[in-house]
Structure 1
């Protein structure tokens, strides 16, 4: 890749908005589209190019909008279609693009398609979903739901099971049915005609189920990995995505990113190939699954940090393997992951700001498109003040139901500790705008309890402090826009076994960047032979002490090679 043929989305930075938690404009405690519109200038000030909106469609909210009952209407909690159209126009007026969440592995069980499908075996929508007879009086296979328990639900009316890889209220669509796919293409083109700028595709790697729906090759106790290993990257997934490209995505200059659960390097090279046959990029999960529990029955639930050499090895693999072949997405956190500063940096008051900057530096100088999750740019932390009565997330509540109450695999206190480290509600607590009532999110009662540190961590405070995390992220984005080497340069890892410091180079035709990140609370000493004529591009400390690295210090040198 040369700087001449860089695509717009390869230089872009994406700001993810979880509308329910962003800004409430009518004081019902739930964020909404008008609330998003109120802060477009804030996103523009940060420097982001694209807003990814989590689902705003009609939904009974079994999984906070990822169970869609109507793909072409807005959930009244968020507003209406006229307000969406206004938001889109206002974003475009500011040069901001909007990418919509596309959730088409499954729908809600309240969607009219599923209501028809379950009405009788001969309904013309029956085959829009995946129905199977019982086997020896039990589920058709051993697949487990990602949200705990079996992935099949028995339906008394027709005497068959339907597949739901997620919640019971999220039946899987049958992508083997061409009529179903055609219906999806029509819906997507309806949004394209509205002028949206792309799609983030939820669990898109799961849409092609293996022929015959065989048992997964893992123990039944592995309730989180079971379906992932059995279903991800199925036999027809690339065929379906190439059809989507031809029927929809080529109709406009779209940005596409697929959430690809279970993807590996070789699959990613197909999904996100530079030939443009399928998607622009994928979200892979390997780096955020490195700190899972060694007991497969407990899945993701754990509170031990990943070792730095393991993290380096994984991130570097994706940098090396996709270079020149496919495109990376870069992220630490999102609505499904805990807060980056708490997981990879330190949320201790004395280290929070400097470590949030370090974590951002490491990611934003890699090759790929960076994603910033709302609040990351001010260093929002995990919400340790939430207890069992406060959680809203179905994944957390189901984990407690199965792991603690039914299977007795873990006790309540241990699971709560793990949830405080890994739970999704850490990221979903409302955005912290001010130190005032409910952090300026709402004058009503917030739908999810606030993180109680909003008095110290909020946007108002960040914008008033020239050394805040916000302005550091602003500079990271500005550098990406200005320096082609951040987009096109080759990646080279230094000292892979170093357990305290993560250092890598970006190598261009006539210059190099040296990116140094101390992952510890203690001072380190490292000599990388930095050339005398090197300039510091960015650093989270005000001065350069050469080979001495202070706690969580990050700095980037630029020099001719």
Structure 2
């Protein structure tokens, strides 16, 4: 497998609004990030991915862009950005920007022109359709609840918005739109950035004719993902993007691609495809019962094993994996997959080991490295996310759902769990701001914060440091072949990594019980080294047979 820097890197995602506020207005900013770069260097990070910092009205926290070539005023200036980029590079780290090219803000000049008249040259920068039988052009459901179409009285037509109504979808069929996007990407790459994370990039091609989605339950709106995810021309567009822009720079690209299978993914990231470096798949974070995301159905370890193993095996040697459990759209992993109370530290370390010891590029989301947890706001008014408020309106206000149950579901699954301010220390507002934070700080910041974690040699932070160092020191962690063992064990997720004649064994207890690990007979060794563990381990205890403690993890090198 070809060695490339982005395969061997560890990426850290910053959600700028919540990372560090430098000027006391309660909103994180670029100067705040500059002030914390040494912390990221100390952790061992190679690449910083910034969620959007472009000019935006902030309907969807920056994912609704009104000017691709300017900085959101709350975050600072272009001079601040240039300084940030320089300071990142001075520390031998790289910077990746978010590319939001499926949609813009409805306050973008293109859309203002587009909606002004049907004859305007910008009209077909977006997707406009007349209504059908007195209602929307089709029955597609938006990602954020309700119809994916918005009626515009001025011209008497509807525009498509797969997300918020203030996020109209761009019309990628129009070559002028693609030209504009490629020129904008070139603008940032010429500044010296090191790549892009591409927001919902597999939604840029829609099926011709915009057919109704199947609607067996006769709902007003139905999920139409088969008509706008992995659409008919998406690979033509990405190869064009690669030919005209990406291939001219030494960069990494990662596409956010909900709804992809491993077969789909290889079309995006296959070594011979000239499209993207890697994609984010969603299968493992979308494990849910029949009620979907907005339910309290428990996930199953058997499903996690099956999904992760399929991605590890199907892409090996053909395309590259991304590895993540947390991001700005997901609840905190330690609250979701671990135990965020009694065994918070142990389960945070276990989950980190489980992830970083797989094959692919690992992504750390801000606060994950200190074991930050979900927040439980007890009032809907304390939440800020447009998705949460649309859901509340749809389910509770309009639909009559039980508000207490809905609040409980939002506390478990809502995106604002990831967006509460970074917990730097035990001072007011967790050291994030001297003002009033834009969203409340998780009350547990007094116990869980960076300052405390750095002082404690047994903290989650120091464990992440060690994991990152193992990756830098041992190529097997990056390139080794993954093989699941004990496939049917109900509590233990164990696997091996193999590179040439070197074998590593990774054992994770996903629960608070004490199961016994038995190494399969076909795996032999004459000596062993314990590489990392989250409990003290007797050096004389053989890896062939041992009892695991709650949420215990161990990694052995066998030889």
Structure-2-length-normalised TM-score: 0.97
1:234-276: CA deviation from partner (whole Å, max 9, x where unpaired): 0000000000001110121011000001111111001011125
1:395 to 381, 387, 399: 387
1:435-478: CA deviation from partner (whole Å, max 9, x where unpaired): 11100000100000110000000000000001110111111111
Give, in whole Å, the separation in 2 of the partners of 1:528 and 1:304. Answer: 32
Give, in whole Å, the separation in 1 of the partners of 2:475 and 2:148. Answer: 46
1:472 counterpart residue number: 463
2:311 to 311, 318, 330: 318
* 1:229 Cα deviation from its structure 2 partner: 3.2
What secondary structure does 1:184 align onto? helix
1:307 counterpart residue number: 300
Give, in whole Å, the separation in 2 of the partners of 1:478 and 1:499. Answer: 31
* 1:125 Cα deviation from its structure 2 partner: 0.4
1:328-359: CA deviation from partner (whole Å, max 9, x where unpaired): 100001000000100011001x3100110000
Q: Indicate yes or no: 2:11 matched with 1:17.
A: no
1:409-460: CA deviation from partner (whole Å, max 9, x where unpaired): x311111111111100000000000011100000100000110000000000
Give, in whole Å, the separation in 1 of the partners of 2:70 and 2:438. Answer: 22
1:42 counterpart residue number: 39
Alpha carbons 2:358, 2:482 under 8 Å: kept: yes
* 1:222 Cα deviation from its structure 2 partner: 7.2
1:345 counterpart residue number: 338
2:485 to 494, 505, 511: 494
Alpha carbons 2:139, 2:220 under 8 Å: kept: no
1:372 to 364, 369, 374: 364
1:327 counterpart residue number: 320
1:260 counterpart residue number: 257
2:108 counterpart residue number: 111
* 1:532 Cα deviation from its structure 2 partner: 4.8
* 1:380 Cα deviation from its structure 2 partner: 0.2
1:474-494: CA deviation from partner (whole Å, max 9, x where unpaired): 111111111111121111101
Give, in whole Å, the separation in 1 of the partners of 2:226 and 2:326. Answer: 23
* 1:218 Cα deviation from its structure 2 partner: 4.2
2:61 counterpart residue number: 64
Give, in whole Å, the separation in 2 of the partners of 1:20 and 1:386. Answer: 22
Alpha carbons 1:386, 1:449 under 8 Å: kept: no
Structure 2 unmatched runs, 5+: none
Q: Indicate yes or no: 2:285 matched with 1:294.
A: no
Q: Indicate yes or no: 2:532 matched with 1:538.
A: yes
1:212-234: CA deviation from partner (whole Å, max 9, x where unpaired): 11112344777997133331000
Q: Residues 67-216 of structure 1: matches in 2 within 5 Å?
A: 67-216=64-213
Give, in whole Å, the separation in 1 of the partners of 2:215 and 2:53. Answer: 36
User: Which of 525-534 and 265-274 deviates more?
Assistant: 525-534
Alpha carbons 1:307, 1:499 under 8 Å: kept: no
User: Which of 379-388 and 351-360 deviates more?
Assistant: 379-388
Q: Indicate yes or no: 2:288 matched with 1:275.
A: no
Give, in whole Å, the separation in 1 of the partners of 2:496 and 2:518. Answer: 14
Alpha carbons 2:214, 2:222 under 8 Å: kept: no
What secondary structure does 1:450 align onto? coil
What secondary structure does 2:22 align onto? coil
1:438 to 418, 424, 429: 429
Please provide the CA RMSD for this pair.
1.3
Give, in whole Å, the separation in 1 of the partners of 2:110 and 2:428. Answer: 43
Alpha carbons 2:139, 2:222 under 8 Å: kept: no
Alpha carbons 1:480, 1:486 under 8 Å: kept: yes
Give, in whole Å, the separation in 2 of the partners of 1:189 and 1:180. Answer: 14
Structure 1 unmatched runs, 5+: none
User: Which of 532-541 and 522-531 deviates more?
Assistant: 522-531
Distance 1:477 1:222, change over 3 A: farther
Give, in whole Å, the separation in 2 of the partners of 1:195 and 1:225. Answer: 43
Alpha carbons 1:143, 1:230 under 8 Å: kept: no
* 1:386 Cα deviation from its structure 2 partner: 4.8
Distance 1:225 1:338, change over 3 A: farther
* 1:305 Cα deviation from its structure 2 partner: 2.6
1:411 to 402, 420, 445: 402
User: Which of 481-490 and 56-65 deviates more?
Assistant: 481-490
Q: Indicate yes or no: 2:557 matched with 1:558.
A: yes
Distance 1:335 1:12, change over 3 A: same
* 1:288 Cα deviation from its structure 2 partner: 0.6
Give, in whole Å, the separation in 1 of the partners of 2:229 and 2:193. Answer: 28
Task: Name segments (4+ residues, structure 1) moved above 4 Å.
Answer: 218-225
Give, in whole Å, the separation in 1 of the partners of 2:347 and 2:146. Answer: 38
User: Which of 545-554 and 443-452 deviates more?
Assistant: 545-554
